[in-house]
Amino acid sequence: MAIIGGVTFDLIIADEDAKLNVNQVYHMSGRRRTESAVGELVGPIARRSIRLLPATRPMTNELLEDTPDSGAESAPEGEAEPGMADIPRAFRSWGEVFDLSALSANFGNDAALPNVTADLTCWGGGGLNLRRASDASIQAVAATVLSDAGAGRLVSRYRESPTMSRGILIQQEANTETQRLRLRRMLGETSTHFSLWIDASAVARRSKRTFSVMRKTDDGIIINERFAF
């Protein structure tokens, strides 16, 4: 927090790859599981404001066609699985995930969005970074592939051995090759996408908020997107 010229600035800097990627979950698991995963992370009050308005259909079948059983090789350890960087962004802003007016009304103020989305992103690069993600985010992502109990075991095993590689963790917890493929595409170990919330407020004035995201395109070009609330 900083105060400049009577205006208070609150800043939130975040790693977008350490959050559940709503676009990735949608394309890998479909709309119902996406809504369920988002609801688990935002809690009962914000859950009432979820309103998914995807700009495209999920690509679940296309992304799972290239299974290990078909002879395809998985990506080297630590790298993203092929195809995830190419998925279209079904959700391009928070207004396509939540009814923002209802969200503000449910919480009684218009400052809820930064807190509600602390474990969610529409701008991540693909796999959730295990090294930096919260237990809740890891469990929510894993539960779109495994049972709730299986997702809980995955989180517990990882916390018991935090130096364990993604590949070994997945091999131990997934029962089928299809589950392993899905988890390899949904879990990662690196971050390349970051964000900044800025809340500017002053006495007797309405607060102004901006949300900026730095993301890398498929061609390696850095792009900054900015939203005002």
Report pLDDT digits (tens) over 82-134.
445 567 889 999 999 999 999 999 998 878 999 999 999 999 887 899 999 99
Q: Domain of 213? A: 2-228
Share above pLDDT 90 across residues of the chain, in percent, rounded to a whole number = 68
For the chain, the C-alpha Rg in angstroms (whole number) is 18
Phi, psi (degrees; rounded to nearest 5) at 8: -95, 125
pLDDT digits (tens, 9 = 90+) for 155-176: 999 999 999 999 999 999 999 9
Q: What is the mean pLDDT of residues 141-154?
A: 95
Q: Taking a C-beta distance cutoff of 8 angstroms, is the pair 99, 184 a contact?
A: no
Note the pLDDT of residue 61: 67
What are the distances in angstroms from CA 44 to CA 20, 41, 67, 198? 18, 9, 36, 26
**Beta-carbon contacts of residue 165 (< 8 Å; ≥ 6 apart):** 77, 78, 189
Question: Is the distance from CB of 191 to CB of 18 less than 8 angstroms?
Answer: yes
Residue identified by tokens 């800097």 is 13
Task: Give how many domains the chain has, as a whole number.
Answer: 1
Residue with tokens 């792009």: 223
**pLDDT score recorded for residue 52:** 98
User: Given the structure tokens 């992103």, which residue do they identify?
Assistant: 121
pLDDT level of residue 56 (50, 70, 90 thresholds): very high
Burial letters for 119-155: b for 16+ Cβ neighbours within 10 Å, e otherwise?
bbbbbbbbbbbbbebbeebbbbbbbbbbeeebbbbbb
Report the predicted TM-score, pTM, of the whole model to 2 decimal places.
Answer: 0.84
